[in-house]
């Protein structure tokens, strides 16, 4: 090996790292070369998020203000009597524009779901990692706590929490979080158990790496793919849970709206006004489908063995 070839190697800042870090937006999109569906899913998600974020600028009508003469209009491309943007998704029982309500409702649904799953994911994963890695009585106590919390019917506990704390968006998030962290803890723990006794961990211990270094540097990156899958699936679950709570009157309070609350409110008109439940339902379904497709791509991308070279 000549000296020149060593010189060639010098510019590498940290060997190999750069392979995981796409530099620039072009390289990021180049990663989708083998999975175009995931790219489509990501774009749809972007659009849904963008619409939700920019709802105040995009929505043609005030989502809370109804026009009683325009009640329960089916979807139409014609302008309403008073002028303005056509009610392309129809109007509800109070004459409010469904399209505008979907835009604003998405904000609430997505905020609640992401906040709940985010807190649950971090909290549950850390507990699961500790429980799985240390084992023994730490594991025993943490897992019994998980068992006890899981053994209560989730909806009942959430209702009790909201009843005590009072219905509001913040309290809804607290109630759903209390119910939702266990699956992440269980998942992380079971994944850690498969690695705890592995030669990889032994090798990391042999070179003197600290316990946090092993857990967060080697174990977590190797088990993150199934955890991300659960994260994405749980997003859907929490959007549904928020809808349930809102439907029962313990979640989002009118005049605020969420996709779940819209389905709940539209339920009694389902025979005569199909658009009230259909469009929010499509939004939930589309969001979940795209999250799943995107989650799948992330899982593949995180795993160098399944990545196509």
Partner 1 sequence: MIQNDRENLVVVRNLQKLFPVKAGFFGKARSFVHAVDDVSFSIKKGQTMGLVGESGCGKTTIGRLVLRLLEKTSGEVEFKGKNIFNLNKLEQKQFRREAQLIFQDAFSSFDLRKCVGDIVGEPLKVHGLASGSELTDRVADLLKTVGLKPELMREFPHTLSSGQKQCVGMARSIALNPEFVVADEPISALDVSVRAQVLNLLKDLQEEKDMTYLFISHDIRVVRWLATHIAVMYLGKLVEYAETEELFIQRHHPYTEALLNAVPVEDPFQRRERKILLGEVPSPVDPVPGCRFQPRCEYAVDRCRLETPPLVEKSPGHWVACFVDFHGAGDFS
Q: Please give the residue ranges that form the binding site for partner 1 (CB under 8 A).
A: 1, 5-6, 9-10, 12-17, 19-20, 198-200, 202-209, 213, 218, 221-222, 302-305
**Distance of closest approach, residue 299 Cβ to partner 1, in angstroms:** 13
Question: To the nearest whole angstrom, how small is the minimum distance from the Cβ of residue 218 to partner 1?
Answer: 5
3-class state of residue 120 by DSSP? helix
On whether the CB atoms of residues 90 and 273 are closer than 8 A, the answer is yes
What is the smallest separation between the CB atom of 129 and partner 1, expressed in angstroms? 16
Nearest residue (CB) to partner 1, 166 versus 208: 208
Return the SS3 of 105. helix
Is 5 or 151 the residue whose CB approaches partner 1 more closely?
A: 5
Q: CB of 144: closest distance to partner 1 in angstroms? A: 13
Q: Which is nearer to partner 1, 14 or 151 (CB)?
A: 14
CB of 152 to partner 1, least distance (A): 23
Instruction: Output 76 or 198, the one with its CB closest to partner 1.
Output: 198
Distance CA 258, CA 264 (A): 10
Q: 257-260 long-range CB contacts below 8 Å, 24 or more apart? A: 257/63, 257/64, 257/101, 257/104, 257/105, 257/108, 258/105, 258/108, 258/109, 258/112, 259/102, 259/105, 259/106, 259/109, 259/283, 259/284, 260/109, 260/284
Q: Which is nearer to partner 1, 19 or 25 (CB)?
A: 19
Residues 6+ apart with CB under 8 A from 239: 109, 110, 112, 113, 259, 260, 284, 287, 288
CB of 235 to partner 1, least distance (A): 25
Structure tokens at 123: 């909290």
CB of 9 or CB of 77, closer to partner 1: 9
Q: Is the peptide bond before 25 cis (omega within 30 degrees of 0)?
A: no
């Amino acid at each position: 090996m000549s000296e020149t070839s060593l010189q060639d190697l010098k510019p590498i800042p940290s060997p190999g790292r750069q392979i995981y870090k796409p530099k620039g937006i072009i390289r990021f999109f180049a990663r989708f070369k083998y999975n175009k569906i995931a790219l489509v899913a990501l774009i749809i998600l972007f659009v849904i998020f963008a619409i939700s974020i920019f709802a105040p600028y995009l929505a043609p009508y005030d989502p809370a203000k109804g026009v009683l003469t325009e009640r329960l209009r089916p979807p139409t491309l014609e302008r309403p009597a008073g002028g303005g943007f056509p009610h392309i998704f129809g109007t509800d029982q109070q004459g409010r524009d469904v399209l505008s309500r979907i835009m604003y409702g998405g904000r609430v649904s997505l905020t609640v779901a992401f906040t709940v799953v985010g807190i649950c994911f971090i909290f549950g994963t850390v507990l699961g990692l500790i429980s799985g890695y240390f084992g023994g009585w730490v594991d025993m106590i943490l897992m019994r706590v998980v068992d006890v919390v899981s053994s209560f019917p989730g909806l009942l506990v959430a209702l009790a929490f909201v009843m005590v704390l009072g219905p509001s968006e913040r309290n809804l998030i607290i109630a759903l979080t209390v119910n939702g962290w266990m699956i992440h803890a269980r998942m992380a723990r079971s994944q850690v158990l498969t690695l705890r006794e592995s030669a990889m961990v032994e090798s990391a211990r042999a070179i003197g790496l600290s316990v946090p270094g092993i857990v967060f540097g080697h174990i977590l990156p190797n088990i993150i793919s199934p955890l991300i899958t659960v994260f994405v699936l749980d997003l859907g679950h929490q959007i549904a849970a928020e809808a349930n709570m809102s439907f029962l009157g313990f979640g989002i309070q009118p005049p605020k709206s969420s996709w779940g609350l819209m389905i709940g409110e539209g339920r009694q008109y389902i025979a005569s006004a199909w658009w009230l439940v259909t469009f929010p339902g499509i939004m939930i379904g589309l969001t979940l489908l795209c999250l799943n497709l995107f989650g799948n791509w992330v899982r593949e991308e995180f795993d160098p063995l399944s990545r196509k070279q």
